């Protein structure tokens, strides 16, 4: 899969555009600025937006090509981001974060469980989790996302994976995506915002 993402992100275009995800920006702008973690950040569009808004941003992905594009975008906007090359399995979280955002970050099985446990442990009490991911009902649509059902989410799975999060928003809905060439058209997504309980 690493080769797949390096090939995709190695193209000159930004696969999902340079503009950040709408739901992410809408929710992030409601929070006090602090330290933000962005797993599976790809080409950096959300990380750069957050940095422009004054957040201290840490992001990771296992694609070197994604990192290059993200750092180029950060330079274009004259901001700094800490972008690490790490896999979900091996990412070692030593800091605490005020917010974590999972934007179309898809993992399966044991990898998903291990990563989300790590994410829960590094989110401060009263810290915020923001998610927009493809739901299982996205399978078969051409607007983006994994073609493997195990990589898609249900609301019950998200609740089970984050038992210490009190969800303010947890909804499955349809949206019309217009994010670069790879996210175009009507999509079935799950949107979530939650607060870490003490």
Q: How many Å apart are CA 113 and CA 31, to the nearest integer?
A: 27
- The mean pLDDT of 162-173, rounded to a whole number, is 98
The confidence score (pLDDT) of residue 1 equals 80
Half-sphere exposure of 181 (CA within 13 A, CB side): 7
Q: What is the mean pLDDT of residues 65-80?
A: 98
- Does domain 2-196 correspond to CATH entry 3.40.50.150? yes
| Helix, strand, coil content of the chain in percent (nearest 5) | 30, 35, 35
- Give CA–CA dist 128/165, Å, rounded: 9
Strand partners, 175: 187
pLDDT given at position 6: 92
pLDDT in tens, 11-20: 999 999 999 9
**Could you state, in order of their start, the residue ranges of all structural domains in the chain?**
2-196
At 106 the three-state DSSP class reads coil
Q: What is the pLDDT of residue 103?
A: 98
Q: What is the pLDDT of residues 117-158, one digit of tens each?
A: 999 999 999 999 999 999 999 999 999 999 999 999 999 999
Length of the chain measured in residues = 198
Which tens digits make up the pLDDT trace of 22-62?
999 999 999 999 999 999 999 999 999 999 999 999 999 99
H-helix segments, the chain? 2-9, 22-28, 45-52, 64-76, 109-122, 155-161
Share of the chain above pLDDT 90, in %: 94
The answer to whether the CB of 63 falls within 8 A of the CB of 11 is no
Q: Which two tokens stand for residue 193?
A: 């915002």
Say what the pTM is. Answer: 0.97
Sequence-ordered list of residues with C-beta below 8 angstroms from that of 25, at least 6 positions apart, any chain: 49
Looking at residue 51, what is its pLDDT?
Answer: 98
* pLDDT tens digit sequence for 113-126: 999 999 999 999 99
Q: Are 102 and 40 in contact (CB under 8 A)?
A: yes
């Amino acid at each position: 899969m690493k080769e797949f993402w390096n090939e995709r992100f190695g193209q000159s275009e930004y696969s999902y555009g340079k503009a950040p995800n709408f739901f992410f920006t809408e929710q992030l702008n409601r929070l006090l600025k602090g330290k933000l973690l962005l797993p599976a950040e790809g080409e950096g569009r959300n990380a750069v937006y957050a940095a422009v808004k004054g957040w201290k941003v840490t992001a990771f992905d296992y694609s070197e090509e994604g990192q290059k594009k993200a750092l180029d975008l950060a330079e274009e906007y004259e901001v700094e981001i800490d972008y690490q090359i790490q896999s979900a399995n091996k990412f070692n979280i030593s800091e605490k974060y005020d917010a974590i955002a999972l934007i179309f970050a898809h993992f399966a099985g044991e990898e998903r469980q291990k990563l989300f446990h790590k994410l829960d442990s590094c989110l401060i009490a009263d810290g915020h989790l923001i998610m927009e991911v493809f739901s299982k009902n996205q399978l078969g649509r051409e607007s983006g996302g994994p073609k493997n059902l195990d990589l898609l989410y249900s609301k019950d799975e998200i609740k089970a994976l984050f038992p210490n999060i009190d969800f303010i928003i947890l909804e499955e809905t349809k949206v019309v995506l217009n994010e670069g060439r790879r996210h175009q058209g009507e999509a079935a997504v799950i949107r979530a915002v939650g607060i870490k309980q003490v």
